[in-house]
Structure 1
Amino acid sequence: MTRRDERRRGFTLIEIMAVVLIMGLLAGIVGTVVVNQIDQARTQTARAQIKQIESALTFYQMDNGRFPSTEQGLRALVEKPSGAPEPRNYRPGGYLQGGAVPNDPWDTPYQYASPGVHNPHAFDLWTLGADGQPGGEGADQDVGNWASGAEG
């Protein structure tokens, strides 16, 4: 075999390193895009769930003349509260399908206050985002029912 034939049989170390580097860069870019898309999907899911819970709270208020108290919380949507203020026309089966209040997309309970700080004549309903702490940006931002709907 000639020296020329030996060089044609395989890739050089430089070529292999270049391919591995390019593959690593592409994986990093794709991974970042996928993570960002997942974060955006969770935020959109939180907004949709907040709208759903808002609707249930509105039906509760229409039937009972008031929103559940902060102490009664969102549990009042699936189980008739026993303490004051007692609901006067509680619907059999509650106000949310499935008999449970959903957790936010980060698997923590939604926060509820009535009357609200942002909505003093109604209620505040929000999630603390991915970090579970007030404030934040991106996936860590709070999403609530104030401003223009469930915008956060």
Structure 2
Amino acid sequence: MRKNNKGFTLIELLVVVIILGMLAALIVPKVVGRLDESKIETTKIQMRAIKDALEQYKLDNGVYPTTQQGLKALVEKPTTPPVSTRWRQYLDKLPKDAWDNDFIYMSPGVGHPYELKSAGPDRTEGTEDDISIWQ
């Protein structure tokens, strides 16, 4: 009398697990790398939008916001000098970079009218993965 076993053997299950592990080892690094690239690209797009708002601010006010006024001057009228008489709201809200950090702004910048950058994936300013609007 023969039993009709319709289950999988342990060896069959191990073969399937090994194949899935090999596929994951090949695919996961590519997907993770693309995620990092997309975060960098998203941050660059946000920085270009801020740059456009800064240029509009300068056209209206004759100067860029000071470091003390910061990027907040694009959302709320500055109260520290120089106070503009032609100010308008340039952004609805200040965006954050793809790692949920505030953008770094200084005016004047070194070799540029201002500095606008993100600390990048490591979230530490001054490291090689920083993203600058001037790059």
Q: Please give the range of the TM-score, normalised by the shorter of the 2 chains.
A: 0.7 to 0.9
Matching residue's letter, 1:64: N
Aligned-CA RMSD value: 1.9
Q: 2:122 aligns with which of 119, 122, 131?
A: 131
Q: Does residue 71 of structure 2 align to residue 74 of structure 1?
A: yes
Q: Which aligned runs of 4 or more in structure 1 are off by greater than 6 angstroms?
A: none
Map 1:51-90 → 2, pairs under 5 A? 51-90=48-87
Aligned residues with identical type, % of pairs: 40
What amino acid is the match of 2:98? P
Give the TM-score normalised by structure 2. 0.88
Unaligned 5+ runs, structure 1: 148-152
Post-superposition shift, 1:142?
A: 1.3
1:112: which partner in 2?
Answer: 105
Paired residues, what number? 134
| Alpha-carbon distance in structure 2 between the residues aligned to 1:118 and 1:11 | 69
Q: Aligned equivalents of 1:89 and 1:13: distance in 2?
A: 76
Corresponding letter in the other structure for 1:103: K
Which one of 30, 34, 38 corresponds to residue 33 of structure 1?
Answer: 30
| Distance in 1 of aligned mates of 2:72 and 2:85 | 16
